[in-house]
Structure 1
Amino acid sequence: MEAGELVEEVAEENKSLLWFLLKQVRPGMDLSKVVLPTFILEPRSFLDKLSDNYYHADILSLAQGVDDPYLRFKLVLRWYLSGLYRKPKGLKKPYNPVLGETFRCCWPHPESLTRTYYVAEQVSHHPPVSAFYVSNRKEGFVIEGSLLARSKFYGNSTSAILEGCARVHLLTWGETYITTAPYAHCKGIVIGTLSMELGGKVHVMCADTGYSADIEFKLRSFLGGSDQTNAISGRIKKGKDTIASIDGYWDGRIDIKDKKTGEESNLLDVAVLKEQRLRRFLMRVERQHEYESQRLWIKVSEAIANDDQIAATEQKTVIEEAQRERAKNLLSPWVPRYFQRDPQATAPEGIIDQGWRYNHANTSLSDRLSTPPHQPLSRSPWQPSEVLEYEEDFVITSQTGGRPPPPKPPRPDVRARLSDSDSRDELAARSKTHTRTVKQTLYSLDTALREQAATLERLTRAVETLSANQRAPALGRVPPTSHSWDLFGGFVLAMILQGLLNWLFYNKD
Structure 2
Amino acid sequence: MKHSLGHLRPRTNTGGKSTPEERDTDGDETIVEPEQNNILSHIISQLRPGADLSRITLPTFILEERSMLERITNFMASPDTLLPMPEINDPVKRFVSVIRFYLSGWHIRPAGVKKPLNPILGETFTCWWEYADQTKGYYIAEQTSHHPPKSSYFFMAPEHHIRVDGTLKPKSKFLGNSAASLMEGISYLRFTNRGTSKLGEKYILTQPNMYARGILFGKMKYELGDHSFVRCPENHLSADIEFKTKGWVSGTYNAIGGFIKNDKTGEHLYELSGFWTGPMYIKDLKSGVKETLFDATHAKHAPPLTRPIEQQGERESQRLWLSTIKAVHVSDHVKATDEKAKIEDRQREEARQREEAGQEWKPALFRRVDAGPGGSEEGEDDLEWIINANIDAHDPKKATEQILRIAPILPESGPGGTDQPRSSASNPVSSVAVQGNGASQSLIDFDSHSSTNTSSAAPSVGHTQPNQNDLVPSSNSYQTPAASAVSKQTSLLDDDDHLTSNVNSGLSNLNLNHVPVLPTGTAPLKRADTATGDTDEFVDAQD
Against the structure 1 CA distance between its residues 267 and 122, is the aligned structure 2 distance closer, same or farther, given a 3 Å change threshold?
A: same
Partner of 1:353: 382
In the alignment, structure 1 residue 186 sits paired with structure 2 residue 207: no
1:342 alignment partner, one of 349, 364, 369: 369
Matches within 5 A, 1:103-502: 103-110=125-132, 112-173=133-194, 174-224=200-250, 228-239=252-263, 240-274=266-300, 277-330=301-354, 331=357, 332-342=359-369, 344=371, 353-361=382-390, 376-377=391-392, 380-382=393-395, 391-392=404-405, 394=407, 415-418=456-459, 425=466, 428-429=468-469
Once the two structures are TM-superposed, the CA of residue 249 in structure 1 deviates from its matched residue by 0.4
Against the structure 1 CA distance between its residues 220 and 418, is the aligned structure 2 distance closer, same or farther, given a 3 Å change threshold?
A: same
Is this contact kept in 2: 1:101–1:121, CA < 8 A? Answer: yes
Name the CA distance, whole Å, in 1 between partners of 2:257 and 2:29: 18
Once the two structures are TM-superposed, the CA of residue 272 in structure 1 deviates from its matched residue by 4.5
Partner of 1:450: none
TM-score w.r.t. structure 1 length?
Answer: 0.71
1:381 counterpart letter in structure 2: H
2:110 alignment partner, one of 85, 88, 107: 88
Name the CA distance, whole Å, in 1 between partners of 2:343 and 2:42: 20
Is this contact kept in 1: 2:32–2:221, CA < 8 A? Answer: yes
TM-score w.r.t. structure 2 length?
Answer: 0.67
Cα RMSD, aligned residues only? 3.2
2:458 counterpart letter in structure 1: R
Is this contact kept in 2: 1:10–1:194, CA < 8 A? Answer: no
2:272 counterpart letter in structure 1: I
Name the CA distance, whole Å, in 2 between partners of 1:279 and 1:176: 25
SS in 2 for 1:208: helix
Greater displacement, 315-324 / 56-65:
56-65
2:58 counterpart letter in structure 1: L
Is this contact kept in 1: 2:173–2:179, CA < 8 A? Answer: yes
SS in 1 for 2:360: coil
Name the CA distance, whole Å, in 2 between partners of 1:185 and 1:348: 34
Q: Deviations over 1:52-92 (max 9, x none)?
A: 11111452321111111111111111111111111111111
Is this contact kept in 1: 2:325–2:336, CA < 8 A? Answer: yes
Name the CA distance, whole Å, in 1 between partners of 2:68 and 2:49: 23
Once the two structures are TM-superposed, the CA of residue 417 in structure 1 deviates from its matched residue by 3.1
Name the CA distance, whole Å, in 2 between partners of 1:322 and 1:21: 22
Against the structure 1 CA distance between its residues 324 and 268, is the aligned structure 2 distance closer, same or farther, given a 3 Å change threshold?
A: same
SS in 1 for 2:319: helix
Structure 2 unmatched runs, 5+: 1-23, 195-199, 411-435, 439-454, 476-543
Partner of 2:68: 46
SS in 2 for 1:229: coil
Same amino acid, percent of matched pairs? 34
SS in 2 for 1:290: coil
Once the two structures are TM-superposed, the CA of residue 25 in structure 1 deviates from its matched residue by 13
Partner of 1:66: 88
Is this contact kept in 1: 2:158–2:399, CA < 8 A? Answer: no
Matches within 5 A, 1:15-30: 15-20=40-45
Greater displacement, 383-392 / 180-189:
383-392
SS in 2 for 1:316: helix
Is this contact kept in 1: 2:43–2:56, CA < 8 A? Answer: no
Against the structure 1 CA distance between its residues 422 and 246, is the aligned structure 2 distance closer, same or farther, given a 3 Å change threshold?
A: farther
Once the two structures are TM-superposed, the CA of residue 391 in structure 1 deviates from its matched residue by 2.5
Q: Deviations over 1:208-257 (max 9, x none)?
A: 111110000000011225xx110000000012210110001011111110
Once the two structures are TM-superposed, the CA of residue 352 in structure 1 deviates from its matched residue by 8.4
Name the CA distance, whole Å, in 2 between partners of 1:91 and 1:24: 31
Is this contact kept in 2: 1:44–1:301, CA < 8 A? Answer: yes
Is this contact kept in 2: 1:338–1:359, CA < 8 A? Answer: yes
Which structure: larger Rg?
1
Name the CA distance, whole Å, in 2 between partners of 1:299 and 1:47: 17
Name the CA distance, whole Å, in 2 between partners of 1:244 and 1:286: 50
Once the two structures are TM-superposed, the CA of residue 273 in structure 1 deviates from its matched residue by 2.7
Is this contact kept in 1: 2:128–2:304, CA < 8 A? Answer: yes
How many pairs align?
396
Is this contact kept in 2: 1:137–1:389, CA < 8 A? Answer: no
1:16 counterpart letter in structure 2: S
SS in 1 for 2:112: coil
Is this contact kept in 2: 1:281–1:423, CA < 8 A? Answer: no
Against the structure 1 CA distance between its residues 343 and 34, is the aligned structure 2 distance closer, same or farther, given a 3 Å change threshold?
A: farther
Once the two structures are TM-superposed, the CA of residue 505 in structure 1 deviates from its matched residue by 4.6
SS in 1 for 2:226: strand
Partner of 1:477: none
2:224 counterpart letter in structure 1: L
Q: Deviations over 1:314-359 (max 9, x none)?
A: 111100111001111113110001112226279999x982421111
Name the CA distance, whole Å, in 2 between partners of 1:278 and 1:55: 5
2:113 counterpart letter in structure 1: L
Partner of 1:76: 98
Is this contact kept in 2: 1:14–1:39, CA < 8 A? Answer: no
Once the two structures are TM-superposed, the CA of residue 164 in structure 1 deviates from its matched residue by 1.1
1:293 counterpart letter in structure 2: S
Against the structure 1 CA distance between its residues 119 and 234, is the aligned structure 2 distance closer, same or farther, given a 3 Å change threshold?
A: same
1:241 counterpart letter in structure 2: E
Structure 1 unmatched runs, 5+: 362-375, 398-410, 430-503
Is this contact kept in 2: 1:287–1:419, CA < 8 A? Answer: no
Once the two structures are TM-superposed, the CA of residue 415 in structure 1 deviates from its matched residue by 2.9
Name the CA distance, whole Å, in 2 between partners of 1:73 and 1:422: 35
Greater displacement, 3-12 / 198-207:
3-12
Name the CA distance, whole Å, in 1 between partners of 2:328 and 2:396: 47
Against the structure 1 CA distance between its residues 50 and 34, is the aligned structure 2 distance closer, same or farther, given a 3 Å change threshold?
A: farther
1:35 counterpart letter in structure 2: T
Against the structure 1 CA distance between its residues 384 and 155, is the aligned structure 2 distance closer, same or farther, given a 3 Å change threshold?
A: closer
Once the two structures are TM-superposed, the CA of residue 420 in structure 1 deviates from its matched residue by 6.0
Partner of 1:437: none
Partner of 1:491: none
Is this contact kept in 2: 1:47–1:103, CA < 8 A? Answer: yes
Against the structure 1 CA distance between its residues 385 and 223, is the aligned structure 2 distance closer, same or farther, given a 3 Å change threshold?
A: closer
